[in-house]
Amino acid sequence: MGAPLTARGNAPKQDRSRATRRRLLQSAVACLAERGWAGSTVAVVAEHAGVTRGAAQHHFPTREDLFTAAVEYVAEERSAVLRDLPRPAGVREAVEAIVGLYTGELFRAALQLWVAASNEPQLAPRVTALEARIGRETHRMAVRLLGADESVPGVRETVQGLLDMARGLGLANLLTDDSARRERVVAQWAAVVEAALRG
């Protein structure tokens, strides 16, 4: 039987290690969203996280290790956001919530990972698999938020079209503030979705 942990035992050290790792992953996501793949080196992420480069390399020996872990972190964070969305009062609110998923920092970081994965063979398989999982979860979440019955002809395709449209609005938002046009598009899509749900 091992000795009990003291105030100077392993638990606090492990807690600090976990906190440092989490800070590095959050910083990797923020750097990807702000600077893109090319500007997101281990040194840049370490500085952003407020740790030494050596500490960063202790947790993630290579850049690929860091950003592969960041892929998984982004996927988990996006999944948590999806799971925690409350059921909205109506279709318009549901459409707004879905579009909102594609206009924040997590989507910006995910997009940078997609671009990086197209050129980085170490990232591509993980990003592809995680995006497939997120895509399925997003579709399920949209069905739940809308209260949609996919056995009704056209409803599944309408939900998928809504998600494709939301992703497109998120892409447009990367370059410029697209909020005015987005509001008009959301209103129109809410009407389309509502009509499809009524069958």
Confidence of residue 42 (pLDDT cuts 50, 70, 90): very high
Confidence of residue 10 (pLDDT cuts 50, 70, 90): low
Name the DSSP letter for residue 87.
P
pLDDT at residue number 3: 45
Closest CA to 56 of 7, 47, 177: 47
Confidence of residue 143 (pLDDT cuts 50, 70, 90): very high
pTM for the model: 0.73
Residues 185-198: pLDDT tens digits?
999 999 999 999 98
| C-alpha span between 101 and 152 (Å, rounded) | 26
* Cα Rg of the chain, angstroms: 20
